[in-house]
Amino acid sequence: MEAVWFAIVSAMLAVYAVLDGFDFGVGVIHRLVARTDEERRTVLAAIGPVWDGNEVWLIAAGGLLFMAFPRVYATAFSGFYMALMIVLWLLILRGVAIEFRSHQDHPLWREFWDTVFSLASVLLAVVFGTTLGNLVRGVPLGKDGLPGMPLFTNFRPGREPGILDWYTGLAGLFTLVALAGHGALYLVWRTTGPVRERSLAFARTAWKAVIVLWIAATAATAWVQPDAFFNLVARPWALVFVALSVAGIWGAFRFPRRGQELAAFLSSCVFLLGMVATALAGNYPFWLRSTLDPSYSLTAANTASARYGMGVALAWWAVGIALTAGYLTYLFRSMRGKVGADSGAGY
């Protein structure tokens, strides 16, 4: 049962990376592809119906982690307290920026909130990337748990690393560029005119950088945490996720050239799903891998809740995810088509 819930929580995180990922990506490139107020309102209208709902997936994943693996939840939240506070403030700033920018019809007011929106999106992408890098690299988890990790120490992985080092920084940069490319393809699909053309040009450059950073991050992971690769080789089924990543990045290059905008965006979704799934499959059964002593690591087996409770929760989760899937299908079908500046009231 713990393996099932590890897969479910991982899937929720992967879906969050895809859905809120294009929101972050749109925010990252917001000021690059939209240069007038009308163009920026068009960009915000493209994510207006979905951005706040996409963030709920993070809350849902956290709730499931608390239910199925409470010790992991408690340890991670205490150890990554500083990072979590940063994430909360950045999420708040993104929401405030979107809602406040049109409260005053003044260029300086709107420029300020547009800048806040972009900077918060950039930092969130980097923070989430470094968080995934910490899960893969390992954390200084001891017998008494995980003390509050410093933001950085000497920028080198080791027995007692900080949240940021050269490896997690590379993971953060890779995530930032990948989400920027993801957001660009979303805007190509959802917008017209100059915003679409600039987004298409940006996507072509961004996905080239994604390939370079993907190779660099893969090589760095092989150096820092070779066990992740051994786990993938030992589990042939996990190689499916690698294949999805390769297919996704191929489609992100191929389909925009053929004018297949939705297929290009879906390819980007597949790439992100494959990448997150590959990382977590390579990490299984570890949630938090100890850099001090492997016996202190938190795994799916030694942190799982009672089997009866997880069985009951699984039944209710199946009902909830079916309703959520139906709602998402309705939402994206109802908002299909291109958007304009007048498509998002208040933006």
Residue 134: predicted pLDDT: 92
Q: Say if CB 101 and CB 117 are below 8 A apart.
A: yes
pLDDT digits (tens, 9 = 90+) for 40-61: 999 999 998 888 888 889 999 9
Supply 299's token pair: 């795994």
Three-state DSSP state, 303: coil
Domain that holds residue 58: 2-328
Is 340 domain-assigned?
A: no
- d(CA 178, CA 215) in angstroms, rounded, equals 13
Overall number of domains in the chain: 1
34 sits in which H/E element: none
Q: What is the pLDDT of residues 80-114, one digit of tens each?
A: 888 888 999 999 999 999 989 988 888 899 999 99
Q: Is residue 197 part of a domain?
A: yes
pLDDT score at 228: 86
Q: Strands (DSSP E) along 160-314, which ranges?
A: 286-288, 298-299
| Residues facing residue 288 across a β-bridge | 298
SS3 331: helix
CATH number reported for the structural domain that contains residue 271 in this entry = 1.20.1630.10
Between CA 245 and CA 258 the distance in angstroms is 20
Which pTM value belongs to this model? 0.93
Q: Torsion angle of alpha carbons 271, 186, 178, 131, nearest 10°?
A: -90
Q: Is residue 16 part of a domain?
A: yes
In DSSP terms, which residues pair with 152 in a beta bridge?
164
In a domain, 228, yes or no: yes
- Residue 334 domain flag: no
Q: Is residue 230 part of a domain?
A: yes
For the chain, the first-to-last Cα distance in angstroms comes to 45
pLDDT confidence bin for 189, thresholds 50/70/90: very high
Counting residues of the chain whose pLDDT is more than 70, the rounded percentage is: 98
Closest to 16 measured CA to CA, from 81, 87, 96, 79:
87
- Cα separation, 291 vs 306, in Å, equals 28
In a domain, 345, yes or no: no
346 occurs within a structural domain: no
